Chains A and B, each alone.
Chain A
């Protein structure tokens, strides 16, 4: 497999594989089915060392296992790896600056379509992506869409966090519902009853990178609206969007006051303080509650259930996911070491442990990992299993690239919804304004 093998490498690799086998045989972890595939031949450069930039953890296990897996890589290959953790909001600018100045990080776990903004600075990862796809049952179509540009893998999705309805069962039972309705009308009805009962829900409408984008995109897509069509023509100003905005206004009327100011952490805080009966979020709320030392919060965890976001008139699920898309800058002096690192992190010995430690916060991009025990160990995890399989992408239905990323970071979709909810604009005005703003990015 490797053409420049040193004796030390062999011993270390042997030890690493040995340890992995030992772990595998002693745990009861569900096996991840693998196909035979030959890993690309990537001799590690002499004196290689790597700097990795990644977003901060939302669940502890994520970062702990990521660090452990990285240490295992260092033990197996002798390549020292330094991990820099950035807050969610800072990751974008840091990635951008690294791309612009040509130094600062070799590997970045970037946000969704960020690598497409710097496609010229991305190392071609086609060889390892093809290998991993063959070995682990293939990439989900969304993962492939986010990873490839003109048929070339410029980035490799390693996980995605998806928003689901995270609700207090006792509270929705109280207003006469057994489960969260699966259609938007029933959903609105439930919310009106929750509001009347004094246990409203709440969704972020501030400039919240994760939460506000998640539900505003779900909403518009659920009613058949989309920012652009397949040819990247701006199509947001449509009757479907206006219907979605009317629905948003009705739904907003049932929310707890203050959601226009909510940033990403606000719904977690309000939920864990029992101020809201439901919100849309990743699994992190449940995880935080379950692992709390506070008995009252533990009880919230027992009462917490998850459900898919309801399906709108388009008749199919329209959730969005926040993808973590790993990339290697082509200015790195150690491209092979960087690729080997990413490949190592995606192999099941490492990746499955990471999935489990993140308790379902990150969904998998490779089909074989649907057999991971994390999705069956707790029935409340299961709804997060298909995050990458079922979601739509930012910039749907168009291409993934600079324009879609710019529209996303300018919060065009969120502000369209928020301006209607805040009574600053009619649905028609808001859709026209969003169209005008999106056109600025989709020009040329």
Chain B
């Protein structure tokens, strides 16, 4: 024993500045995070910063701009089209999110029970989410076509329940609900699959205990399933709100903001003003105006929904 310990000779530490530097824990952390930070700076912070800066300028496409302070925002403040877009974006997000979560949760609960061909069913349910948005948007565009809609065709020509074709996209409210329906169709799989994953983590023993105590199905849902799902619900909700709020493709492909701007989302309006319209500064200002909403939505889901006390059935302090 003694021999071995004697034979162990500690190698002298090379005593130069580089080695000491790499021994420094904070420096190592810094070095390891650098690539990631670099990517974030380059691909997230820079474009975001550029967008914020452009919003303070009168840059037009193909030309330089000058700093004009808050002028773009002043213009937008008096712009009815912009306010309509803000209102509609919020409405679209709220309505679509409520529907997506209601139906998605329902679907997840169904799938969590024993159903035949479970795996195949789950795979099929993901299809709407996997299909490229533009493809499904074009499919919906045909479904909602004023002259060639399959729904109108079935109702009018096959079943003869109606005499006129449905004007899906010509009336503001029809167009709005049509778009919400398309968005919900696309968004349900994401919600359902995420919530299904959450459901499967809930221990069956909780349900068994509840059943022994005589809890009804509704009580089991409300006092076990729902609170246990809350953490994942908060995350999925945040993602879903962000995806919906920043939606672009569905609206651009189906209505292009029409009829008469009643379905312009902030994202489509920003694009139309900035790129085809050439008013890059103003478009950027519209895009920047989306940020407060997104930050608020994120804070709401994290602080309001993800509070542990509340999840565990306790009250707020």
Interface size on A, residues (CB 8 A): 41
Minimum distance in angstroms from B249 CB to a CB of chain A: 13
Interface flag for A366 (CB, 8 Å):
no
B272 in contact with A260 (CB, 8 Å): no
Is A437 interfacial (CB-CB < 8 Å)? Answer: yes
Chain B residues, Cβ within 8 Å of A258: 146-147, 165, 167, 169-170
| Beta-carbon nearest neighbor of B59 in chain A | A100
Across the two chains, which residue of chain A brings its CB closest to B164? A257
- Are A260 and B259 interface neighbours, CB within 8 A? yes
| A-B pairs under 8 A by CB, number | 113
| Chain A residues within 8 Å of B146, by CB | 256-259, 261-262, 266
Query: A261's contact among B62, B164, B255, B277, by CB below 8 Å, is which?
Result: B255
Kindly state the separation between the CA atoms of A97 and B276 in the bound complex, as whole angstroms.
10
Per-residue 0/1 for A200-213: is the Cβ within 8 Å of any B Cβ (1 yes, 0 no)?
00000111000000
Across-interface contacts of A281 in B (CB, < 8 A):
none
B277 near A410: Cβ-Cβ < 8 Å: yes
Q: A39: which B residues are within 8 A, CB to CB?
A: none
Residues of B within 8 Å of A118, CB to CB, are 61-63
The residue in chain B whose Cβ has the minimal distance to the Cβ of A430 is B260
- Docked Cα-Cα span, A120 to B63, in Å, equals 8
Within the complex, the shortest CB–CB distance from B245 to chain A, in Å, comes to 22
Known: A270-B147, A418-B258. A260 touches B170 (CB 8 A): yes
Given contacts A258-B170, A261-B146, contact A93 B276 (CB under 8 A): yes
Q: Is B246 in the interface zone, CB < 8 Å from A?
A: no
Q: Is the CB of A419 within 8 A of B164?
A: no
B170 touches A117 (CB 8 A): no
CB distance from A325 to the nearest CB of B (A): 15
Q: For chain A, what secondary structure do more than half of its interface residues adopt (helix, strand, loop), or is it mixed?
A: helix
A405 near B259: Cβ-Cβ < 8 Å: no
Judge if A406 is at the interface, Cβ distance under 8 Å.
yes
What does the 1/0 interface line of B235-255 toward A look like (CB < 8 Å)? 000000000000000000001
Measured between beta carbons, the chain B residues less than 8 angstroms from A440 are 75, 79
Q: Does A92 lie within 8 Å of B275, measured CB to CB?
A: yes
A4 at the interface (CB under 8 A from B): no
Residues of chain B with a CB closer than 8 A to A206's CB: 169, 255-256, 258-259
Residue among A89, A92, A117, A261 making CB contact with B167, cutoff 8 Å? A261
Residue of B nearest to A262 (CB): B146
Q: How far is the CA of A440 from the CA of B164 in the complex (A)?
A: 41
B260 and A117 within 8 A (CB): no
B85 at the binding interface (Cβ < 8 Å): no
Interface hub of B164, B167, B170 (most chain A Cβ within 10 A)? B170
CA distance A257 to B278 in the complex (A): 33
Chain A residue nearest in CB terms to B58: A444
Cβ contacts under 8 Å, A419 to chain B: 260
**Which partner residue on chain B sits nearest A118 by CB separation?**
B62
Known A258-B147, A258-B167; judge A207-B61 contact (CB<8 A): no
23 pairs of residues in contact across A and B, judged by CB atoms under 8 Å: A89-B276, A93-B276, A96-B275, A97-B61, A99-B62, A206-B255, A256-B147, A257-B146, A257-B167, A258-B165, A258-B167, A258-B169, A260-B259, A260-B260, A261-B175, A261-B255, A261-B258, A266-B145, A418-B259, A422-B171, A422-B172, A437-B81, A440-B75
Q: Which residues of B contact A (CB under 8 A)?
A: 60-63, 75, 79-81, 144-148, 164-165, 167-172, 175, 255-261, 272-273, 275-279
Given contacts A100-B62, A261-B258, 11 further A-B contacts (CB under 8 A): A93-B276, A97-B61, A207-B258, A258-B169, A260-B169, A260-B259, A261-B146, A405-B277, A409-B277, A422-B170, A441-B279
